Amino acid sequence: MSKILVDTIDTRSGTSNITIGSSNASQITLKSGATLTNFPKNSPTFLAYSASNQSCSNQTNTLVNIDTELFDIGGNFDTSAKRFTVTEAGYYYIFYQYRWETATDFDDQKVWISYNSSTYPSDNIISTWGANDYYTKQGSYQTRLLAVGDTLDLYAYQNSGGSKNLAGGDDFGLNTTFGAYKLIT
C-alpha cells in the first residue's frame, strides 16, 4: 500500500469538487480516534420538562412551567421565560407530551406550541384538542421551517369548571415535556 503525506488537499483553480476513488465502490477508512469536523449537526436541540405539577385555572390560556432542562445543546431554551428561541434557521422537529392530573374526564382542553407569541391555538404549530383525563398524550410536528429569532412556547387551556394540574416531575413517561431539534438538511 502506498502512502501520501500532505497537510492540505485542495481543489485546483477553476474547480470545486474533490473526487476520492474512481467508482461508487470506493471506501474511505479513518484511523481509530480520527475526528471529522465541519459536518452538519442536529443542533440546536433541547428537551425540558416541568419539575412539579402546575395548576391551570379554568378557561385560561396558561404558559406551561417548563422549568428544568434535561439537555440544551446550543443554550437556546430559557427556563426563566419557558421559551425556545431559534438561533439557526432550518427545519425543526418539535414535540411535547402532557398529562392532566385527574382521573375525572372533562370535555374541553387544549395544549399547543405557541409560535412567535401567538396566544390562540389555531395560530400555532401543534395543538391537541378534545376530551381529556389521566392519560398521557403527545403532540408533534415533524418538520417546520423556522427562522432566526422565531420563538416557541408551550401553552395549555382547560374548561372543566375548576383548576386542573398538569403533571410534573422527572418520570418522562408521565410528565409534561417540551423539546425540539434541528434536522440535518
Structural domain boundaries, residue 175: 46-182
Residue 89 has φ and ψ, to the nearest 5°, of -65, 150
Q: Is residue 172 part of a domain?
A: yes
Q: How many domains, in total, are found in the chain?
A: 1
pLDDT tens digits along 117-160: 876 655 555 566 555 666 677 776 667 899 999 999 999 888 88
Of 115, 103, 107, the residue nearest 145 (C-alpha) = 115
* Spatial CB neighbours of 46, under 8 Å, sequence gap ≥ 6: 69, 71, 72, 73, 74, 76, 77, 84, 179, 180, 181
CA–CA distance, 173 with 121 (Å, rounded to integer): 25
**High-pLDDT (> 90) share of the chain, %:** 37
Q: pTM of the full predicted structure?
A: 0.75
Q: Which uninterrupted H or E stretch holds 6?
A: none
**Residue 153 or residue 21, greater confidence:** 153
Q: What is the CATH number of the domain that holds 134?
A: 2.60.120.40
Q: What is the pLDDT of residue 46?
A: 95
Q: Is residue 10 part of a domain?
A: no
Q: What is the pLDDT of residue 134?
A: 64
Q: Is residue 11 part of a domain?
A: no
Residue type, 16: S
Contact 169, 102 (CB under 8 A): no
Q: Is residue 89 part of a domain?
A: yes
Gyration radius from the chain CA atoms: 23
Using DSSP, state whether 149 is helix, strand or coil: coil
